[in-house]
Structure 1
Amino acid sequence: MKFPHVLATALALTALLAGCSSQHSSSPGTGSSASPGPGEGEITPSTTAGAAAPSATAAHGLDDWPTRPATADELPRSIRSTAVAKGYTGSSYLDMLTKQWHIRMSPRKKNDFNKKDDVPPVWYASGSGHPSAGSKMSIAVVWNLSGDLESLTCIADRAAPGHTDFLRACLELDHPSAKPASAAAWFKGALPSLDKAFEKTRKQMASPLYRSGRVVSYLLEYSNGKEGTACTARVLGTSA
């Protein structure tokens, strides 16, 4: 099933940063080593191989996001992300975050989605670090062409030392409407609930949303094959 204009998601970046080699395409759950995947800069949940794609009857709006841990087919399909705040680049916080976790970011690159879609072009950058042998932490960032931050995605293997501190730090992004203490408290409660749901279903699971002004955050937990379980924290701007 294809969903034009709203295809790339956190897990498209997950595949990219995990080193997957799937081709850049218009089907859910794809990415490439060259770009985040079609439509990056949006939050429509995508899937890894074997996980359920959003169903034809899935809800469509941000207000329809489940208020409990949910599988991919229960999530809204077509929510367009926007700048977190006009003039906010996130550069200082991202510099701190990448230095603290020893993540080397790639130079910014432009993604125009092959000019085959009505999704505006964006800038993006990504990078990974290895806090221990065999474990990985990754960051991916999307900006609009004016340089305003649209989304921050952080991915950590559950086996990585300090992975919960890393994910929490990502959720504490210092955007203008941020409430870091509130975000940290939400994370403290959301992660155990997500863990429990994932262990029960062994399917990709998403947390409820955390909101701070027009900015929303959520967590994803899923099996990353031989790498074990991984968790994603995503922060993005919305028009709501």
Structure 2
Amino acid sequence: MHLPPHHPRYAVAVLVVAALALAGCSAGHDTDGAGASATPDPAPSTSTSPSTSPGVPSPQARPTSLADWPTAPASPQDVPTGTKSQVIAAGYTGQAFLERLAADWHLTLGKQKKLTSGEPALYVGAEGHPTKGSELSVGAIRDLAGDLRSFECEATADAPRYEEFLRACVGLDYPGSDPKAAATWLTGVKPQVDKVFKEEKVKAPITSPLLRAGTADTFLYKGNYSPSGTYTVRLFGAAGSGK
């Protein structure tokens, strides 16, 4: 379930897929939650038919459970697909946190929209361009009752203080969250993702191991969607997902 980042400029149409499944999407498009990225999966599914050529091993099936999420930075084919994101906590919308984040980082907050393609959901996002060509953005996907399912921040590596922005994002104040531990996790996992991304000759998107806290899981994603590289931090509801 390789989830790529959500790009607000492509937003509504693509975010639908994200609203409920951790399934991958085509490059440049986004999905929600776990694979349901608050949007984002840029890479299409890599599953193929088993080869019948002599001496060529059949490709391994991609995992489908969050319990099988890689424990080291991984490429799309190694990340579970097909798992659905869930409500992070009944009655929790994340709106106050979203508004505070948008204000602190001078992001323009849009109006909430209803996504009708696929399973209906609600999407709201904010976006800013601190310098020419750079971008910071945030997006949230909720069920129709308004409860938060996934929350994600995206930043180009050429945006001023982008790492600080991503750390602010993992501070999402959902019930059972641990912002301090999440910030420590991000600081440790980002260099690991950068190293693997740099070593990839084809610059395939790279996804970090999961941070599991309370009823939500978090991962860091890096893709080659801008000249400097684009990072996405995604938190998604995962209660009862085999933690």
TM, length-normalised to structure 1: 0.82
Structure 2 residue aligned with 1:24:
none
Answering whether residue 47 of structure 2 is matched by residue 55 of structure 1, we say yes
Distance 1:176 1:33, change over 3 A: closer
Letter in 1 for 2:176: S
Alpha-carbon distance between aligned partners in 1 of 2:166 and 2:220, rounded to the nearest angstrom:
9
Q: Secondary structure at the match of 1:92?
A: helix
Alignment of 1:81-96 (within 5 A): 81-96=85-100
Task: Indicate conservation of the 8 Å contact 2:173/2:179, yes or no.
Answer: yes
Structure 2 residue aligned with 1:123:
122
> Any idea what the Cα deviations from partners look like across 1:147-198, whole Å, max 9, x if unmatched?
1111111110001001001111111100001001110111011000000010
Task: Indicate conservation of the 8 Å contact 1:10/1:234, yes or no.
Answer: no
Q: How many residues of Structure 1 are paired with residues of Structure 2 in the alignment?
A: 212
Identity %: 31
Distance 1:234 1:149, change over 3 A: same
Alignment of 1:1-240 (within 5 A): 9-11=3-5, 13-14=6-7, 17=8, 19=9, 32=10, 34-41=12-19, 42-48=21-27, 51=43, 53-55=45-47, 57-113=61-117, 117=118, 119=119, 121-201=120-200, 202-225=203-226, 227-240=227-240
Task: Indicate conservation of the 8 Å contact 1:47/1:72, yes or no.
Answer: no
Alpha-carbon distance between aligned partners in 2 of 1:83 and 1:215, rounded to the nearest angstrom:
9
Q: Secondary structure at the match of 2:133?
A: coil
Alpha-carbon distance between aligned partners in 2 of 1:63 and 1:38, rounded to the nearest angstrom:
24
Distance 1:104 1:73, change over 3 A: same
Distance 1:138 1:235, change over 3 A: same
Alpha-carbon distance between aligned partners in 1 of 2:46 and 2:89, rounded to the nearest angstrom:
29
Letter in 2 for 1:53: S
Letter in 2 for 1:232: T
Unpaired runs of 5+ residues, structure 1, are: 1-5, 20-31
Q: Which has the higher contact order (CA 8 A, sep 6+)?
A: 2
Q: Secondary structure at the match of 1:35?
A: helix
Q: CA deviation at 1:10?
A: 4.0
Question: Larger C-alpha radius of gyration, 1 or 2?
Answer: 2
Letter in 2 for 1:39: V
Letter in 1 for 2:45: A
Letter in 2 for 1:123: L
Unpaired runs of 5+ residues, structure 2, are: 29-41, 49-60
